[in-house]
Chain A
Amino acid sequence: MVSGFIERTILGTVSVLKDTVSVERYALQRGFLQERDPRYKSCASISLLIAMVLCNNAAVLLSLYAIIVLLVPFSNIRIGFFLKRTLLFVPIFSFVIVVPAIFDAVSPGTVVASWHVFGLKLSVTRQGIDAAGIFCMRVLDCVSMSVLLVLTTRQHVLLKVLRIFKVPQLFVMTIGMSYRYIFLFLDIIQKMFIGIKSRVGFVSSSTEGRRIATAHMAGLWLRSYRLHTAVYDAMISRGYNGEAYVLDEFRSTIADKIMLILSFIILIGAVWANRFFH
């Protein structure tokens, strides 16, 4: 084995990126969100995200979460798949981050429970639990919204949406090209590793492993340099002269506009309800 760590890292990255491609099948399906214009869909998502960030009432946050979950089956996504992707890890990780906030040192207030650890008194407060709960709920809402947007929109289309925020065309195109060539290079890297393993087999020292990995990094850099020159030539050959024109196929319908207006109404309604129940 050249280097277990490097190999595991690279093969793990390859697997994650391949998984990214496999979830694109949801974006290619027919469904409510898939049929929406990505520009309107992104703006509506941002509107809901703002609502989630501005609100700190559990009932309001739960209502926003209910709206997202309701959209899942209408977008032809299996609810189990969606919940597994969002519910399983997000609250766990955000809870780990928010643990200190439940104690009275960070959130003073009504003590619910106390322990003595190494002579130190640790007290969990009602206010701390509420703050942690709201934080986790907010994270869950935001992540669910983002995951739903990503699942129902092809990645390169999402990149194109950057154009509505006045990001220059060339920049958007360059990101799109990087996205395309990441897969080519991952494929090359994967084949390189198989090639190394088939010829070198097991390397006894980690120094030797690092030497081989470094040499191949240099080789890969040279390949990428040659490829970039050739790609540039291919662009020139087809009329590129410094200003790129790319396909812009966004088409909006009345349903897109209604969806956007509804998202604004939800934003205003959520902020109002948040203040009302506070």
Chain B
Amino acid sequence: MGESIFSLKDVSYSFSQNIIALKGLSFDIEKGQRIAIIGANGTGKSTLLTMLDALIFPTSGTMTMAGKTITERAMRDPGFQREFRRKVGFVFQNPDVQLFCPTVKEDIVFGPLQFGIAHDEINKRLESIVEKMRISHLLQRSPHQLSIGEKKKAAIASTLIMEPEILLLDEPTAGLDPQTNRDIIDVLDKAHKAGKTVVMATHDLHIVEEIADIVHVFGDDKTIIRSGSAEEILSDNPFLQTNNLVHVHVHRHLNIKHVHPHSHPHPH
């Protein structure tokens, strides 16, 4: 068993008394793991990632990071907060949220500047990350002038430049063209090979096997209804259909009606 980074014990979260977003979650995230969180819309994937980034806190149960319980009070300690933010990087689902500076360059270096990293070091990291993400031509552009794929890449770069140990990503490949999709998967693969722990919420099942060792499936009742290896979960078609994660194709050949699970050799 590896070194546990995050540990959740019976964690629940409610937006108000009536709206439950997460219910009774218990699992561990170990150093170097690649975890995919899958589930239909509104099952709590984004809420879980937001909680893992300590932007919201459990309404019941406990969440620990490296043995320390994460609470609002604990995050008020500037030393701990700084340590936490340096270790955990979060790529938001909507890149417009993450790109708030007038230029892409300023957005990318925003994180390291807050941590007081030396300018030479920031420039070195910037050079390396823009080369990796192939976005050097975007640095002086304003975020509103970018395409959705370019925004996603810039948002990921703005998190990777902080060199976090744990990378949380909320649907990083949603709505992207195949090439941008591929670029992002490659970058995440490299990050994992460099020893980073990667936790990703996604709907793109065709990338899950490539980017995750462990898969947690969220159900409509806001609980984890199943956990296992990517291979084990993705091969269980009836389970995926029941939970709204794949759809069936229905078509006709003359008078014969074909119904079969959605699958093809190429990505969507």
Binding site for B on A (CB under 8 A): 21, 28, 154-156, 159, 176-177, 179-181, 183-184, 187, 227, 230-231, 233-241, 244-247
Contacts and interface: CB of A to CB of B under 8 A. Distances in A.
Given A236-B55, A240-B114, 20 more contacts: A21-B145, A155-B102, A156-B103, A177-B100, A180-B101, A180-B142, A181-B100, A230-B94, A233-B50, A233-B92, A233-B97, A234-B97, A235-B100, A235-B110, A239-B111, A241-B78, A241-B114, A245-B114, A245-B116, A247-B109
Contacts of A237: 53, 55, 85, 89-90, 92
A243 B21 CA distance: 32
A239 B94 contact: no
A266 to B, nearest CB: 32
Contacts of B173: none
Nearest to B78: A241
A183 B142 CA distance: 10
Interface in B133-173: 140, 142-145, 158-159, 162
A180 B144 contact: yes
Contacts of A239: 82, 85-86, 111, 114-115, 162
Contacts of A183: 142, 144
A159 to B, nearest CB: 8
A234 B111 CA distance: 10
Contacts of B106: 246-247
A28 B102 CA distance: 14
Contacts of B248: none
Contacts of A241: 78, 81-82, 114
Contacts of A244: 114
Contacts of A230: 92, 94, 97
A196 B50 CA distance: 33
Contacts of B232: none
Overall SS of chain A's interface: helix
Interface string B179-220: 000000000000000000000000000000000000000000
B105 A247 contact: yes
A238 to B, nearest CB: 4
Contact of A234 (B78, B98, B140): B98
B127 interface: no
A177 B114 CA distance: 16
A122 B169 CA distance: 75
Contacts of A234: 90, 92, 97-98, 100
A109 to B, nearest CB: 52
Interface string B107-122: 0011101111000000
A185 to B, nearest CB: 10
A180 B100 contact: yes
Contacts of A187: 144
B96 interface: yes
24 contacts: A28-B140, A154-B102, A156-B103, A156-B142, A179-B102, A180-B100, A183-B142, A184-B144, A227-B97, A230-B92, A233-B50, A235-B100, A238-B158, A238-B159, A239-B82, A239-B86, A240-B114, A241-B78, A245-B113, A245-B114, A246-B101, A246-B110, A247-B106, A247-B113
Contacts of A179: 102
